[in-house]
Structure 1
Amino acid sequence: MAWRFHGRARTSPSNPHAYAVCDRCGIWHNLVDLQWQWQWAGTKLQNLRILVCERCLDVPQPQLKTRIVPPDPVPVF
Protein backbone atom coordinates (compact mmCIF):
# COMPACT_ATOMS: atom_id res chain seq x y z
CA MET A 1 0.00 0.00 0.00
CA ALA A 2 1.40 3.38 -0.98
CA TRP A 3 1.57 6.16 1.58
CA ARG A 4 0.56 9.65 0.64
CA PHE A 5 3.12 12.37 1.36
CA HIS A 6 1.76 15.00 3.76
CA GLY A 7 4.94 16.90 4.62
CA ARG A 8 4.44 18.50 8.03
CA ALA A 9 0.64 18.37 7.89
CA ARG A 10 -1.13 16.57 10.71
CA THR A 11 -3.87 14.12 9.78
CA SER A 12 -6.73 13.25 12.11
CA PRO A 13 -10.01 11.61 11.07
CA SER A 14 -11.82 13.03 14.11
CA ASN A 15 -10.55 16.61 13.63
CA PRO A 16 -9.80 17.17 9.92
CA HIS A 17 -7.95 20.27 8.72
CA ALA A 18 -7.27 21.49 5.19
CA TYR A 19 -3.79 21.05 3.69
CA ALA A 20 -1.87 23.88 2.05
CA VAL A 21 1.59 24.40 0.58
CA CYS A 22 4.01 27.04 1.87
CA ASP A 23 4.66 29.46 -1.00
CA ARG A 24 8.35 29.78 -0.07
CA CYS A 25 9.62 26.30 0.78
CA GLY A 26 6.91 24.18 -0.91
CA ILE A 27 6.33 21.88 2.09
CA TRP A 28 2.80 20.70 2.93
CA HIS A 29 1.33 22.10 6.17
CA ASN A 30 -2.10 22.45 7.69
CA LEU A 31 -3.78 25.63 6.47
CA VAL A 32 -4.27 26.85 10.04
CA ASP A 33 -0.47 26.77 10.55
CA LEU A 34 0.31 29.08 7.61
CA GLN A 35 0.39 32.87 7.97
CA TRP A 36 0.15 35.76 5.54
CA GLN A 37 3.39 37.59 4.73
CA TRP A 38 3.31 41.37 5.40
CA GLN A 39 5.66 44.14 4.27
CA TRP A 40 5.85 47.88 4.84
CA ALA A 41 4.54 49.97 1.94
CA GLY A 42 4.53 53.66 2.75
CA THR A 43 3.08 54.20 6.21
CA LYS A 44 1.04 50.97 6.30
CA LEU A 45 1.67 47.25 6.31
CA GLN A 46 0.70 45.61 3.02
CA ASN A 47 -0.34 41.98 2.66
CA LEU A 48 1.83 40.33 -0.01
CA ARG A 49 -0.77 37.53 -0.42
CA ILE A 50 1.86 34.85 0.23
CA LEU A 51 1.01 32.05 2.67
CA VAL A 52 4.17 30.97 4.50
CA CYS A 53 5.02 28.59 7.33
CA GLU A 54 6.51 29.72 10.63
CA ARG A 55 10.07 28.91 9.49
CA CYS A 56 9.73 31.02 6.32
CA LEU A 57 7.89 33.97 7.89
CA ASP A 58 9.90 37.22 7.66
CA VAL A 59 9.53 40.16 10.03
CA PRO A 60 8.46 43.30 8.11
CA GLN A 61 11.54 45.46 7.53
CA PRO A 62 11.23 48.85 9.28
CA GLN A 63 13.69 50.38 6.79
CA LEU A 64 10.96 50.12 4.11
CA LYS A 65 8.62 52.22 6.24
CA THR A 66 8.21 55.85 5.21
CA ARG A 67 9.65 58.25 7.75
CA ILE A 68 7.41 61.14 8.69
CA VAL A 69 9.60 64.19 9.19
CA PRO A 70 8.27 66.88 11.54
CA PRO A 71 7.88 70.43 10.17
CA ASP A 72 10.77 72.86 10.40
CA PRO A 73 10.88 75.06 13.49
CA VAL A 74 9.95 78.73 13.31
CA PRO A 75 13.03 80.77 12.28
CA VAL A 76 14.56 83.22 14.75
CA PHE A 77 15.25 86.73 13.34
Structure 2
Amino acid sequence: MAEGVLRRRMGQRELAGVPSLITDDCAATADRISGVTGRWGVKVTLLEVTIVQLPLRGELPAQAQARARGQRERHPWG
Protein backbone atom coordinates (compact mmCIF):
# COMPACT_ATOMS: atom_id res chain seq x y z
CA MET A 1 0.00 0.00 0.00
CA ALA A 2 2.81 2.38 0.92
CA GLU A 3 4.58 1.70 -2.35
CA GLY A 4 1.42 2.55 -4.27
CA VAL A 5 1.04 5.86 -2.45
CA LEU A 6 4.69 6.73 -3.13
CA ARG A 7 4.37 5.81 -6.81
CA ARG A 8 1.30 8.02 -7.21
CA ARG A 9 2.95 10.94 -5.38
CA MET A 10 6.11 10.63 -7.52
CA GLY A 11 4.06 10.28 -10.69
CA GLN A 12 2.39 13.61 -9.99
CA ARG A 13 5.71 15.48 -9.95
CA GLU A 14 8.15 16.62 -12.55
CA LEU A 15 11.42 14.68 -12.54
CA ALA A 16 13.22 17.59 -10.90
CA GLY A 17 10.68 17.59 -8.05
CA VAL A 18 11.24 13.98 -6.96
CA PRO A 19 14.14 14.80 -4.58
CA SER A 20 11.96 17.29 -2.70
CA LEU A 21 9.31 14.61 -2.25
CA ILE A 22 11.91 12.39 -0.63
CA THR A 23 13.46 15.07 1.59
CA ASP A 24 10.68 17.55 2.32
CA ASP A 25 7.40 15.71 1.94
CA CYS A 26 8.13 12.45 3.79
CA ALA A 27 6.03 13.49 6.81
CA ALA A 28 3.05 14.38 4.63
CA THR A 29 3.40 11.14 2.69
CA ALA A 30 3.67 9.13 5.93
CA ASP A 31 0.50 10.83 7.20
CA ARG A 32 -1.28 9.97 3.97
CA ILE A 33 -0.23 6.33 4.28
CA SER A 34 -1.33 6.31 7.95
CA GLY A 35 -4.72 7.54 6.83
CA VAL A 36 -5.20 4.22 5.06
CA THR A 37 -3.30 1.91 7.42
CA GLY A 38 -4.91 3.44 10.52
CA ARG A 39 -7.98 1.25 10.05
CA TRP A 40 -5.65 -1.75 10.49
CA GLY A 41 -4.19 -0.26 13.67
CA VAL A 42 -0.92 0.71 11.96
CA LYS A 43 0.46 4.25 12.18
CA VAL A 44 3.40 5.20 9.97
CA THR A 45 5.90 7.26 11.94
CA LEU A 46 8.96 6.93 9.71
CA LEU A 47 9.19 6.82 5.95
CA GLU A 48 12.53 6.17 4.29
CA VAL A 49 12.97 6.14 0.52
CA THR A 50 16.17 4.32 -0.40
CA ILE A 51 15.85 3.60 -4.11
CA VAL A 52 13.95 5.43 -6.82
CA GLN A 53 13.73 3.89 -10.28
CA LEU A 54 11.98 5.99 -12.87
CA PRO A 55 11.19 4.71 -16.34
CA LEU A 56 12.45 7.13 -18.95
CA ARG A 57 10.08 7.96 -21.78
CA GLY A 58 10.07 10.32 -24.71
CA GLU A 59 13.10 12.55 -25.11
CA LEU A 60 14.60 11.75 -21.71
CA PRO A 61 16.43 8.54 -22.78
CA ALA A 62 18.04 10.31 -25.75
CA GLN A 63 19.10 13.24 -23.55
CA ALA A 64 20.54 10.88 -20.92
CA GLN A 65 22.47 8.93 -23.56
CA ALA A 66 23.84 12.12 -25.15
CA ARG A 67 24.91 13.43 -21.74
CA ALA A 68 26.63 10.12 -20.90
CA ARG A 69 28.32 10.04 -24.31
CA GLY A 70 29.57 13.62 -23.81
CA GLN A 71 30.96 12.76 -20.38
CA ARG A 72 32.77 9.71 -21.75
CA GLU A 73 34.32 11.80 -24.53
CA ARG A 74 35.56 14.42 -22.04
CA HIS A 75 36.76 11.82 -19.54
CA PRO A 76 37.56 8.60 -21.42
CA TRP A 77 39.24 7.04 -18.35
CA GLY A 78 36.02 6.95 -16.37
Which TM-score band applies after superposition, normalised by the shorter structure?
under 0.3
**What TM-score comes out, normalization by structure 2 length?**
0.22
Question: Greater strand share, 1 or 2?
Answer: 1
**What TM-score comes out, normalization by structure 1 length?**
0.22
The structure with more radius of gyration: 1
